[in-house]
Chains A and B, each alone.
Chain A
Amino acid sequence: MRLDDIPARCFAGVLPSIMATCSADGTPNVTYLSEVVRVDGRHVALSCQFFNKTKRNVLEHPLGCIEMYDPATFEAYRLEVRFDHEETAGAVFDAMRVRIDAIASHTGMAGVFKLRSADVYEVVAVERRDGYLAIGESVPVASEVTDARPKSEVRGIQLISQRVCCARTLDELLGSVLQALDDVLGFHHAMVLMPDETGAKLFVVASRGYEDTGVGAEVAIGDGLIGTVARERRMLRMSGVENELRYGRAIRAGVSRTRDRGRLAPEIPLAGLADAQSMMALPLVANDRLVGVLAVESRARMAFEEWHELFFEIVAGQVGLAIDNVVLREREADEEEDGPVPRPSQRLDAAKTIRFHVADESVFVGDEYLIRNVPAKILWKLLREHQKGRTTFSNRELRVDPFIGLPALRDNLESRLVLLRKRLEEKCPQIQLVPTGRGRFRLDVTCTLALEERA
Chain B
Amino acid sequence: MSSAGSGAVALPAELVDFVESGVSVLVGTRDAALKPEAQRAVGCVVRGDRRVLAVLVPEGTGARTLANLAAGSPVAVTFSRIVDHRTVQVKGACERVREASAAEIEAARRYVSAFTEALYFIGMSRAISRRLGLEPLWVVEVGVGELFEQTPGPGAGARMEPRP
Chain A interface residues (CB < 8 Å from chain B): 14-15, 18-22, 24-32, 34, 49-50, 52-53, 61, 63-67, 71-74, 76, 78, 80, 129-136, 139, 142, 240, 242-243, 246-247, 249-255, 257-258, 260, 277, 301
| Chain A residues in 8 Å Cβ range of B36 | 20-22, 28, 63-65
Sampled A-B contacts (16; CB under 8 Å) = A21-B36, A22-B30, A26-B1, A27-B74, A28-B29, A30-B39, A30-B77, A50-B152, A63-B36, A64-B36, A131-B60, A132-B132, A134-B131, A246-B84, A246-B85, A251-B154
Q: Is the CB of A132 within 8 A of B60?
A: yes
Chain B interface residues (CB < 8 Å from chain A): 1-2, 24, 26-30, 34-40, 58-61, 73-78, 80, 83-87, 89, 91, 119, 122-125, 127-129, 131-134, 148, 150-157
| Chain A residues in 8 Å Cβ range of B122 | 240, 242-243
In the complex, what residue of chain A is closest to B148 when comparing beta carbons? A53
Chain A's nearest CB lies how many Å from the CB of B35?
5
In the complex, what residue of chain A is closest to B135 when comparing beta carbons? A134
Given the known inter-chain contacts A20-B29, A32-B24, A73-B128, please indicate yes or no for A254 contacting B84, CB distance below 8 A: no
| Chain B residues in 8 Å Cβ range of A255 | 153-154
Q: Is the CB of B124 within 8 A of A71?
A: yes
In the complex, what residue of chain B is closest to A61 when comparing beta carbons? B34
| Chain A residues in 8 Å Cβ range of B29 | 20, 28
Q: Is the CB of A18 within 8 A of B38?
A: yes
Bound together, the chains give a CA A28 to CA B68 distance in angstroms of: 11
- The one of A27, A134, A260 that contacts B76, using a Cβ cutoff of 8 Å: A27
Q: Is the CB of A31 within 8 A of B150?
A: yes
Q: Is the CB of A250 within 8 A of B150?
A: no
- The one of B35, B39, B86, B155 that contacts A80, using a Cβ cutoff of 8 Å: B35
| Chain A residues in 8 Å Cβ range of B73 | 26, 28
Q: Is the CB of B133 within 8 A of A250?
A: no
Q: Is the CB of A257 within 8 A of B155?
A: yes
Bound together, the chains give a CA A53 to CA B77 distance in angstroms of: 14
| Chain B residues in 8 Å Cβ range of A129 | 61
| Chain B residues in 8 Å Cβ range of A251 | 152-154
| Chain A residues in 8 Å Cβ range of B155 | 254, 257-258
Report which residue of A52, A132, A240 has the largest number of chain B beta carbons within 10 angstroms of its beta carbon.
A132
Q: Is the CB of B84 within 8 A of A32?
A: no
| Chain B residues in 8 Å Cβ range of A301 | 123
Chain B's nearest CB lies how many Å from the CB of A451?
52
Given the known inter-chain contacts A21-B36, A28-B29, A133-B133, please indicate yes or no for A250 contacting B124, CB distance below 8 A: no
Bound together, the chains give a CA A132 to CA B36 distance in angstroms of: 19
Q: Is the CB of B34 within 8 A of A22?
A: yes
Bound together, the chains give a CA A30 to CA B127 distance in angstroms of: 27
